[in-house]
Amino acid sequence: MEKKPHFARREFLPREASSISLALLLVAVLLLNALLYLYLNKFYSSSGLAETDPGLCPLGHFRLGTVKNCSPWLSCEAINREVRKLKCVGEGAVKKVFLSEWKENKVVLSQLTNSELKEDFLHGLKMLKALQSKHVVRLLGYCEQQFTILTEYHPLGSLRGLNETLHIPKYKGMNTWRHRLMLAIDYVSVICYLHSSPLGTLVMCDSNDLDKVLSQYLLTSDFHILVNDLDALPLVNRSAGRLVKCGHRVLQGEFVAPEQRWPYGEDVPFEDDLMPPYDEKTDIWKIPDVSNFLLGHVEGSDIVRLHLFDIHAACKKKDPAERPSAREVLNTYRKVLTLLIREAAMPATREML
């Protein structure tokens, strides 16, 4: 009788199975890295981290809402004729702010309230005109004769209301360590831009406490940060020996940098002429405090703080020269975001195997 051939089932040897698993893991890691690269590249190009925005209009023009064409900055005549005030939404030492309307678009109209501070007002306008970028609120028009500035409206308001905004059902999904770290990256990127601006090294002087700092920035509807108030933005020019002093009164508290505090003790009365000037490293000192607020207390935020511990400790060096630059802080923040996103994705990669 003819024997039928016998086909034995081939079992994978442990070494072969291990090789296949390793290959699958390698493919998954490469795919993860590719997706991570695309994600972060999209984030960096859309979050205001780029120094310039290719979608911006030429200097002296703006584009608002869904309109495709750029319009020239509105003149005194156009503002008086076309802009309608709706209600007052804020008032500071320098100006009063009105929610207004222009061609069915909500806009913000700012007007000087204290004539003694008109130089501050005009300085803020000069900065707005010169620093238009993805980091700065969009200028729509101005009238120097009437001390009026027209800017884009952002309904979420200043960063002071961040936690309240994140409790609104519509935005609860943004209340994660990842989105909060992205906001911190946006904030540091603004500081980095100001320290290397087209005008030179600029210092955010209107920042003597956390609440004041947060009031200088706007939260956009797509959850990014713009600097809004540029009234107190002096220039540092080391080559010319030009440093700055933020105001002409004594500054106190742990929030301001050590070099901003009166160095001669309580027994010596404060005199502005005796107060030593300083540079942009005062902004670096404040970064950890602002970032701590932005990170909040959500699941994962303590892990982020742990990864940022060393760079934040460096920001708090008493000697300003030992503190990192804003660019170094920004690069560290970006690396931490990349690392944590990769770590968060690894369990999913292992499950794929």
21 vs 98 pLDDT, higher one: 98
SS3 115: helix
Distance CA 73, CA 107 (A): 13
pLDDT in tens, 181-192: 999 999 999 999
Distance CA 253, CA 208 (A): 9
- For residue 41, the tally of other CB atoms under 10 A from its CB is 10
Distance CA 246, CA 265 (A): 19
Question: What percentage of the chain carries pLDDT values higher than 90?
Answer: 74
21 vs 192 pLDDT, higher one: 192
- pTM confidence score: 0.84
Residues paired with 286 in a beta bridge: none
Residue 336's closest CA among 295, 297, 296?
295
Distance CA 64, CA 251 (A): 40
Average pLDDT over the chain reads: 88
Confidence of residue 47 (pLDDT cuts 50, 70, 90): very low
Please report the pLDDT score of residue 5 as a whole number: 52
What are the structure tokens assigned to 139, written together?
């200028």
Please say if the pLDDT value at position 4 is more than 80.
no
Confidence of residue 33 (pLDDT cuts 50, 70, 90): low
Q: Is 262 exposed, middle or buried (0-12, 13-18, 19+ CB in 10 A)?
A: middle
SS3 124: helix
Contact assessment for residue 292 and residue 259, using Cβ atoms and an 8 Å cutoff: no
Residue with tokens 């909060």: 180
Residues paired with 31 in a beta bridge: none
What are the structure tokens assigned to 173, written together?
């999904």
What are the structure tokens assigned to 282, written together?
């005062």
What are the structure tokens assigned to 138, written together?
């969009």
**Distances in whole angstroms, Cα of residue 250 to Cα of each of 93, 246, 270, 312:** 18, 10, 7, 26
Residues ≥6 apart with Cβ < 8 Å to 44: 50, 334
Q: Is 66 exposed, middle or buried (0-12, 13-18, 19+ CB in 10 A)?
A: exposed
Contact assessment for residue 207 and residue 159, using Cβ atoms and an 8 Å cutoff: no
Please report the pLDDT score of residue 92 as a whole number: 84
Question: What percentage of the chain carries pLDDT values higher than 70?
Answer: 82
Residue 338's closest CA among 330, 347, 348?
330
Please say if the pLDDT value at position 2 is more than 90.
no
32 vs 81 pLDDT, higher one: 81
Distance CA 40, CA 279 (A): 32
Q: Which domains does the chain have, with CATH numbers?
A: 71-152 (3.30.200.20), 157-344 (1.10.510.10)
Please report the pLDDT score of residue 46 as a whole number: 45
pLDDT in tens, 80-114: 999 999 999 988 888 999 999 999 999 999 999 99
pLDDT in tens, 116-165: 999 999 999 999 999 999 999 999 999 999 999 999 999 999 999 999 99
Distance CA 274, CA 249 (A): 11
Strand bridging mode 139-143 / 105-112:
unpaired
66 vs 155 pLDDT, higher one: 155
Which one-letter DSSP state was computed for residue 100? E
